[in-house]
Chains A and B, each alone.
Chain A
Amino acid sequence: MKTLSSSPWIGPVLALAGGAILAFGLPVLVGDQAYLLRLATQLALLVTLAIAWNLVGGFTGYPSFATAAFFGLGAYAIAVAQQAGWPAWSGFLLAAVLSALLAAPFGFAILRLRGHYFAIASLMLVTILKEVTTGWSDLTGGGMGINLPGAGGNPTAIATVALETMVILAAAALALSMIVAKGRLGFGLACIRMNETAAMGAGIDAPRLKTIAFTLSAAICGLAGATYARWIGYIDPSDVYDVMWSVRPIIAALIGGVGTVFGPVVGSIVYIAFEELMWRNLLTFGTGALGVLIALLVLLLPAGIIPGILRRRAS
C-alpha cells in the first residue's frame, strides 16, 4: 500500500494509456464484425456507468438510482445541440455541464436522506426528467423521440467511432476514480461511508464532499449518455430514461466489489459475458439465469469478486 500511495499518478496514467491502446486497437482487431463492435461498446458503456455509480454508491455509501436520469439528460443534451447545428464537441460539453449543474443542487438536497429514502429520492429524478422530456415536445420531440442529424452514413464507421469514444470515456472514468480513491476526497468519502457523524466531528464537510461525488458521477453519466445517443442515432424517453440504465451498473458493481476501484470493471465484464451467454443459449430463461448468478454471488462472494480475491490471498 505504501509503494502505491507514494506514486499516486502511475495508476491513472496507466489507465489512460491502456484506454488509448484499447480504443484504437480494438477496432483494428474487430474490423467490421458488427456484433463484436456492439458488444465491446456495450461493455465500455457499462464499465463507465458502473464506475460513475461507484463514486456515490460505493465510495460514499449512498445507493443512487439516478444514473438513468443523467444518462438520459446527456443523451438529449447532445441530440438537441446537434439539431440546433452545434458541433459535436459542444454537445458533449453541454451534456456534461447540464448533468453537473442539475446534480449539484439536487444532490445537495437529497444527500441528506439515507438508505432507502435516498434511493427512492434519486429514482424520482429519473421519472421527473422522463416526464419533462416527454412533455417538452417542441424541444425534444416528446414521445416521438429525436434523431441526431448526421448520424446516417456508414454503420461500421459510426460503430467504430462509438467504440473508441466509449472506451476512452471508460478509461478516463477509471483514472478519475483512482485519483479520487487515493486522494483527500476519497479518504473523506470513506469516512462518511463508515460513520458520517464521526466524519463531521473530525472536520469533514460531509454535505460538500457528498455533493462533489454526486456531481462528478453525474457528469460522467451525462457523457456516457451523449456517446450512446451519437452511437444509436435516434433516442426516445422510454429508451434513455429506462431505469435499467440505473440498475445494471449497480449489479455490475455488486458483482465486482462495491467501493473498490476495479470492482465495477471486473463486474461489468462478468455481467456482460454472462448476459450474452444466457441470451444466446437460454433465450427463454436468460433473465432467470442472471438472477441465479446474482443469488450465487451474494451467497459465495458477498462483498464482490475483488474483495473476495483479496481476502483469499490475505488468509
Chain B
Amino acid sequence: MSEAPLLRLENLSKRFGGLKAVSDVSLSFGEGEIVGLIGSNGAGKTTLVNLVTGHLKPTAGRVTFAGRDVTGAPPYRLARLGLLRTFQVVQPFAQLPARDNVAAAALFAGAAGDMAAARRAADAALERLGIAHVADRLPTQVTLAERKRLELAKSLAAKPKMLFLDEVNAGLNSAEIDGVLDMIRSIAAEGVTIVVIEHLMKVVRGLCTRLVVLHQGALLADGPTDAVARDPKVVDAYLGKRGAAMLEAAR
C-alpha cells in the first residue's frame, strides 16, 4: 500500500450511552484487497461496518473514502461513491422481481441513465453471479443461496469500489460457500476492495490475505492472515487454542 489508501479510518469511535461499542479504531484499506474482519460476538464488527457505510454516525473520528472526507455521510451518498455493503439479514425489495431489485442499485447508485439501461445492467449482474434464471422471480420465491447472490448482484450493479460483506455465507452449505468465494475473488480481481465479516474459519483462511481482529470494540490485531492467526493475543482473546489449530489445519 504505497499509494493513498482507498478507505481510511482515523480514531473512529462509537458510544451507545455508557457502552463504547467501537473505540479509537484506525485502519487503512488499499485497492483490491480482501480483508477479513473477525472478532467474537459483540466485538463491534457490525457497528464498525455501520459507521463506515453511513448507517450510524460516529461519536468521534474520521472516515476518508477515495480522497473525500465522508464522516457521517448518509448511506445513499456512499453507495453512489462506490462504498457498498450487504446485510447479515438479506434486505430485498420483497414485491419487486429480482431483476428490478438489482436495477434499483444500477439506476440510483450505478451509472445506468434510465430504467431500460438499469435492467440491462441488472441482467448482466445476475448472469455474472449465475442466477440469471431467477430474474423474473420475487425474492421470496428463491432459495437462501440465491438470495445471498442477489444481494451481491445488487452491490455489483452499483459499480462498487469497495464492498463490505456481512456474513454473506451464513446459512449456506459447503458447496454453496465455495461458489460464493469464487465470485468474491473474481470481483476483487477487478480492483474492488472487499471486507468480509465472518465467523467461518474456512472462509477467512481461504479468502483473506489480511485479517483485522476487533476485541471489545478496539483493534486487537491487523496484519497478514498467517501472522495474525498465530498472534498469542488473538489466540487468547478470540480464536482459542482450538480455533488456532483449525486455522492451521485449513491451510
Residue ranges of A at the interface with B (Cβ–Cβ < 8 Å): 5, 184, 187-188, 190-191, 194-195, 197-207
User: Contacts A187-B107, A188-B108, A191-B104: A203 and B79 contacting too (C-beta < 8 A)?
Assistant: yes
> What sequence of 0s and 1s flags, for each residue 103-121 of chain B, a beta carbon within 8 Å of any chain A beta carbon?
0110111100011000000
Cβ-based interface call for B57 (8 A): no
Tell me if A's interface is mostly helix, strand, loop or mixed. Answer: helix
Q: Do A201 and B93 touch across chains, with their CB atoms under 8 A apart?
A: no
Q: Which of B15-23, B62-70, B84-92 contacts A (4 or more CB under 8 A)?
A: B84-92
- In the assembled complex, which residues on chain A have CB atoms less than 8 Å from the CB atom of B115? 5, 184, 187
Tell which of B92, B93, B100, B158 touches A203, judged by Cβ atoms closer than 8 Å: B158
**Shortest CB distance A153–B (Å):** 50
User: Contacts A200-B74, A202-B79, A205-B76: A194 and B109 contacting too (C-beta < 8 A)?
Assistant: no
Cβ-based interface call for B131 (8 A): no
**Of residues 43 to 81 in B, which have CB atoms within 8 Å of A's CB atoms?**
53-55, 74-77, 79-80
**Shortest CB distance B18–A (Å):** 26
Tell which of B80, B91, B107 touches A184, judged by Cβ atoms closer than 8 Å: B107
User: Contacts A187-B115, A190-B96, A206-B76: A201 and B91 contacting too (C-beta < 8 A)?
Assistant: yes
Q: Do B108 and A203 touch across chains, with their CB atoms under 8 A apart?
A: yes
- In the assembled complex, which residues on chain A have CB atoms less than 8 Å from the CB atom of B14? none
- In the assembled complex, which residues on chain A have CB atoms less than 8 Å from the CB atom of B109? 202-203
- In the assembled complex, which residues on chain A have CB atoms less than 8 Å from the CB atom of B104? 187-188, 191, 199, 202, 204
CA distance A197 to B87 in the complex (A): 10
- Closest residue on chain A to residue B95 by CB atoms: A194
- Closest residue on chain A to residue B108 by CB atoms: A203
Total residues of chain B contacting the partner, CB 8 A: 29
CA distance A179 to B92 in the complex (A): 25
Q: Do A203 and B80 touch across chains, with their CB atoms under 8 A apart?
A: yes
Q: Do B108 and A195 touch across chains, with their CB atoms under 8 A apart?
A: no
**Shortest CB distance A258–B (Å):** 13
User: Contacts A203-B76, A203-B80, A205-B76: A198 and B108 contacting too (C-beta < 8 A)?
Assistant: no
CA distance A206 to B104 in the complex (A): 13
- Closest residue on chain B to residue A5 by CB atoms: B115
- In the assembled complex, which residues on chain A have CB atoms less than 8 Å from the CB atom of B55? 197
Cβ-based interface call for B154 (8 A): yes
Chain A CB within 10 Å, residue with most, of B85, B96, B108: B108
User: Contacts A5-B115, A184-B115, A195-B94: A201 and B79 contacting too (C-beta < 8 A)?
Assistant: yes
CA distance A202 to B77 in the complex (A): 10
Q: Do B96 and A202 touch across chains, with their CB atoms under 8 A apart?
A: no
- In the assembled complex, which residues on chain B have CB atoms less than 8 Å from the CB atom of A199? 76, 93, 104
Tell which of B74, B91, B107 touches A198, judged by Cβ atoms closer than 8 Å: B91
- In the assembled complex, which residues on chain B have CB atoms less than 8 Å from the CB atom of A200? 54, 74-76, 79
> What sequence of 0s and 1s flags, for each residue 4-17 of chain B, a beta carbon within 8 Å of any chain A beta carbon?
00000000000000
User: Contacts A194-B96, A195-B92: A201 and B75 contacting too (C-beta < 8 A)?
Assistant: yes
Q: Do B93 and A194 touch across chains, with their CB atoms under 8 A apart?
A: yes
**Shortest CB distance A254–B (Å):** 18
7 shortest interchain CB distances as A-B pairs: A203-B109, A203-B108, A198-B91, A203-B79, A202-B105, A200-B75, A194-B93
CA distance A203 to B77 in the complex (A): 6
Q: Do B75 and A195 touch across chains, with their CB atoms under 8 A apart?
A: no
> What sequence of 0s and 1s flags, for each residue 148-189 of chain B, a beta carbon within 8 Å of any chain A beta carbon?
000000100010000000000000000000000000000000
User: Contacts A202-B109, A202-B158: A195 and B93 contacting too (C-beta < 8 A)?
Assistant: yes
What are 6 A-B contacts with C-beta separation under 8 Å?
A: A184-B115, A191-B93, A194-B93, A199-B76, A203-B158, A204-B104
CA distance A205 to B104 in the complex (A): 12
- In the assembled complex, which residues on chain A have CB atoms less than 8 Å from the CB atom of B94? 194-195
CA distance A204 to B92 in the complex (A): 14
CA distance A103 to B211 in the complex (A): 49
9 other contacts beyond A187-B100, A197-B87, with CB at 8 A cut-off? A187-B115, A190-B95, A194-B93, A197-B55, A198-B91, A198-B93, A202-B76, A202-B108, A205-B74
CA distance A198 to B105 in the complex (A): 9
Q: Do A203 and B105 touch across chains, with their CB atoms under 8 A apart?
A: yes
CA distance A162 to B53 in the complex (A): 52
- In the assembled complex, which residues on chain B have CB atoms less than 8 Å from the CB atom of A198? 87, 91-93
CA distance A199 to B76 in the complex (A): 8
CA distance A162 to B162 in the complex (A): 58
- In the assembled complex, which residues on chain A have CB atoms less than 8 Å from the CB atom of B84? 201
CA distance A184 to B158 in the complex (A): 16
> What sequence of 0s and 1s flags, for each residue 235-250 of chain B, a beta carbon within 8 Å of any chain A beta carbon?
0000000000000000
CA distance A194 to B115 in the complex (A): 18
**Shortest CB distance A4–B (Å):** 12
CA distance A183 to B120 in the complex (A): 17
